[in-house]
Structure 1
Amino acid sequence: MFNEKELDEFLRDIEYVSSEVEGIIKGDIDVEQIKKSEEQQKALEAQKIARELEEKQKAEEEKKRGRKGKGIKFDTYKSYCPNCQREFEREREMCYVCGRKCISSEKRKQDLLSKVEELKKERAEKAEKKVRWENWQKTQAMLYKRTATNYKKWDYFDDYEEEAEPEFIPPDNDPNFKALELDMKERAEKRKQELAIATELREQGNAFFKEGKYNNAILKYEEAQNVKKDWMILYTNSAIARIKIEDYEGAIKDCSRVLDYYEVFEDGYEKSKDVCFKALIRRGEALRHQKKYTEAIKDLTQALDLKDDEEIERILNMCREEANIAGQELEEIKVEEIQSAEVIIEQLNSEEKILGFRQSGGYIVLFKRILESKDIEALKVLEFLMGDENKYAQLEPLIANVYDKKRTGAIVMLESIDRYINDEIFHSLAKILCLAVENKVIREEIVKHSATTKGKKFCRYAVEIFIKRPSKSFSPIITNLSLSTYKSSFERKPNPGNIKAIIRHQWNSFYPAFQRLLDNPESLREATGMLCNLAADQKIKSLCMGQHRLMTVCNEIINNGTNSLQIENALGFLINCATLPAPLEKLEEFYQEFISGVIRLINLQTGIQSITYRSFLLLFRLLFAKPELSDTVCQNSTVMELIFRALENPDTIDISVKIITIGSSQYNFCRAIPIQKILEITQKSIAEFLSGKKIDDRMGNLGLCVGKIADKIPSTSTQFMPLIEGFVSVIKEKLGPARKNVAIGLSKLANNEETKEELRKFHGFEILNSVIGHLDNK
């Protein structure tokens, strides 16, 4: 069916054809003219089609070529050419225009986001750099007196913008990103241009230097410095040229700038050791020409710490010879006076200020001043900052580099202690370091560094100092270091990270020094504390047990001592000695005296939990080594009462059960045991064990204890009958050593007819046979 429009067109066509036919019939229309007109019409239609086709092809071509764009409207294109900056509506692998590889809109988005993060990181680093510089300046103002000229007011920042910079929003359809990207490109281009200009000027300076035109070279280096002021190699170049024209002060200034820059921003010289090495040797050379031999030797020595060099060693030796020829004594380097400790401490009145002080090298200044000039004011500040073992952040500088990566703050502290070993400052330095190594994290890091560094090893150095001077103030360092759990892979020789291994291999030197500490009544507590920790090592324990003097001293302490810390330490040492594996035959002559000492301490009822527990533990170790000693123990009713009372204390119940279990192997001890008490404790423990409480050792020991009592005194078997059902349940439901020990105890109960009958009620014989398999069911 035609619609109305099509019908009108159809009727018009019919009317036109009819009029044409009528005109031809009448002779009004020429047929040739009609043909010509039709051909013209066809030609026009052909042109129109060709034009439409051309426009279509052109549009298709435009689509292929894409459109110019920044690629920031990610939903308007599918592929993007970073090279010619064209956006394509279709996915393309290669650009139609330049033939380079295209990326997807998602990849373009990620690239732009990464540029944003890169810019943020760059600005954050620059901001951090500025903060560090400001903190450094504040620290110097805090440390040094205003009359001093210690600090060169150099600006180390190239193009830092003082105004606050906005946080940029990720460029998700954000037209402002064009400005951001342009800013990034301009910055990168500016840096590139500055480096190119500075490089060209430096090369011109190098050319003048080779020609011997040193003044011209210096001018070119200075021009380059004005363009790229944080390119430190320009200053070492300038320094060598200044040395050539005998401008030694200028050379020292240039080199000092380099060294101060890296000390502030890289916490030392190691990271940029090549530039710092040049700065040190050139400043040392300039100082040598000024006949400042002490300072020159210091710089040259420090340069050798960074890098071994035969030529520098030769210059260093020559410098020492020149000092001797000139008749100069190599004295302490004069350092600028710092503020009083009170003034500095008053300004360190918040955690934020202390953090800034640490980050800007304040601690390093203190360490150096103490070592180099025995600065008492610096020592007081360090005592204030490091006076709490729990403040890890304030102790952390001990594990940071001071002069180079081989020398941490802790090493420098030991160097100071060694240097002033016969001075009163020795005790103050030792006290700071002793407190610091009480912090477990700091201690482990110090020991780890000691095991891996190629420089001075802290643990070995500490032992050497102790051998020189075994003092009360220094010995806690050895004591705390012996608590370290860090172990390295070096086992062929004394492990440099394991102070116990070092002491073992230096025992012949170490023990005489330790004995001097032990023989001094004022340091007896520190000596026994060290002894207690060292004896945890199997080999040192054997060495100690071979020293009759050590056993005698500890025996005297537990039998007659009154100092609670000395007693606690002596007990700890003897517990370690009596713990297997150990050469127990070396204790044979002391067993009876040790038992007497333990009985004394238990009877004293000091109320000090650590002494009570250690007394019980040593008693257990002694009875385990020599069970017949239990006869001596059971003769003391007060001690026995305290042992059984300990069953009611959660802190001592396990060790009390162990003592009773060991003692129950002896008839006299079994007779002194209150059966009802053991019955109650065992029933309670069975219930706890079956409910899932982790008391495997206690449960196993109680099973053995009941079995031993029933074996030594058969009449007690019927008293323990209420335990049979619980013991059977333990054997049925649990696995492990506790199950086997309970089964052994239950088998001892089965020697009585009444208990056998009770055991059969719960199928006990079948269950026992499944565990130990040798019981008689009759």
Structure 2
Amino acid sequence: MDADQEKDLQKFLKNVDEITNLIQEMNSDDPVVQQKAVLETEKRLLLVEEDQEEDDCRTTLNKTMISPPQTTMQSTEEIDSEAFLASVEKDAKERAKRRRENKVLADALKEKGNEAFAKGDYETAILRYSEGLEKLKDMKVLYTNRAQAYMKLEDYEKALVDCEWALKCDEKCTKAYFHMGKANLALKNYSVSRECYKKILEINPKLQTQVKDYLNQVDLQEKADHQEKEAHKLLDSGKNTAVTTKNLLETLSKPDQIPLFYAGGIEILTEIIKECTEQTLFRIHNGFSIISDNEVIRRCFSTAGKDAAEETVCVSVLKLWQTVCSGNEENQRVLVMDRDRGRLLAALLSSRVLAIRQQSLALLLQLAQTESGRSLIISHLDLTRLLEALVSFLDFSDKEADTAMGLFTDLALEERLQVWYQANLPGVLPALTGVLKRDPKVSSSSALCQCIAIMGNLSAEPATRRHMTACEEFGDGCLSLMARCEEDVDLFREVIYTLLGLLMNLCLQAPFVSEVWAVEVSRRCLSLLNSQDGGILTRAAGVLSRTLSSSLKIVEEALRAGVIKKMIKFLKTGGETASRYAVKILAICTNSYHEAREEVVRLDNKLSIMMKLLSSEDEVLVGNAALCLGNCMEVPNVASSLLKTDLVQVLLRLAGSDTQKTAVQVNAGIALGKLCTAEPRNTPTSCSLPQPKQVEKWPARVTRSCRRKQSEAKT
């Protein structure tokens, strides 16, 4: 056997070994191993086809030029090897074809399983997912879906097995880790559950919020489990309070007693529950269900016109819930997550009976003290009804109103409520509009301010702001409240200040409710510029800086009201925020009317205030100051007088600077162009620019191109 034949034989034997291993792997029970073998086989088939093409070319060449004479008979080994390779190739192609067909069938079975799951038919769902896995053993979604169905049937061990198979298919399957965490939690394997949830965070750090919630659930359930063990020990020890708690619950479970029977028993129960152990005994002996499922107690809650006995029952139940939920997060969860009780809590908050309303508010306020309690309220209560009820407290005493708005504020700070608010704004907006239409003389000023402040915070979100400005009634409500407050600015100072904050956010939205609305808002703010209150002055100027550009009519009225003089005063004495608003107002006015430019030049000696603003680190101030200066240079002799200062160098620096806001560069370029074209003969020495001809063209071109962008300067 020559060297070439020996080499071919060794290659053949190596292929036989590799192909044998592949066949064994394709028959493996492990779907992951099987899948890798199929993919490797497909790669080998491609290589075989390429090698075959090369062999055909080489054979042709050998026959004509190179190869020595060949024997006419092939060896038995060569025939067998070719037949074996052909058989493997055929088998691999058939397997690939069957896999494609099985994938289609498995997808169809998955959809049928999903339909059954959605209907609550978990047994059928499991059957369909299992049928799908018979078609395709490495389809991870079938394992995770079946695991979820097993958990619905509380078969947590099987769910864990399926999750492990899913991770064999994809070691980064977060859905598998989620189900494993949940199953281990149900099995009280708390440390394992935590590890599963933490693994999700390792795989996808963006899921931090969700993982935090999952870990909180583990902590709460582990704590509740510990409490229940302690409670059972106490009950077994025969402690009086433990035994009494159990006996009282058995007594309260008697049906068809008079309302006062239940009220008395509940009051006694409330008195003896002092510690976490008694709270836990109440829960593990189904105290919540005994109370809320009692037909007599349910009638007491549902009756609109309650008599004294029914009122007593309702108040006693609410006090009991406060007692058993105080500091006990598991009891809070059991109370709120029940759909009927969750619906009842929101309804009782708007009760006509003062005592019921007060106790309902106290209970919700207690729940809202913790992050988990606020999450429960947002996730399980009827939020539209809850917010309507909280807003209705503005009609009552200052103390009640302040407490209700404090609860509203706590909830409004939660991201989940903000998301819910954006999605449900049309249903909530009428209640908020009603707040704006209230008479500030008969409402609690502090509570009214809190409610308006919440609206202001929510309106900072563009989507929410669009809804608000699109509602004409909401905009009119703002104007109506402003008008009533202006009757006594000193008395309603806080309300006006808060309302101006809301209006500032609303005026970020373009277009406004209407031009008429913008004009009216501007008039109100122009009137408030006469106030002696610095906060009101600043916010009134802030609103004006956002409404003036919408209409020349507003600018005209502002000029007649002496806005230029007031804004110059702002720049002399105001802080950075007030200066921002003032210089923007001046930029808008001077951009529109020559009279405004002349007044600025007259009041700002040598434009020193404007020039000083150019050295600010605030790009908004700098950009609008440059725009205002450029506008003022159109007043005769102003530009030529400024050539004697260092303004040219300052503007050159700004025009060529690398600022975040392009308005700075644009407006500085406009001002520089006007300055240099005012006295072209001075350009070479003053500006250190090219020769006069080039200078004449360059500033004109800059001016023409930049004029179109003047109105785009931002604050």
TM-score by length of 2: 0.48
The structure with the larger Rg is: 1
Q: Which has the higher contact order (CA 8 A, sep 6+)?
A: 1
Higher percent of residues as helix: 2
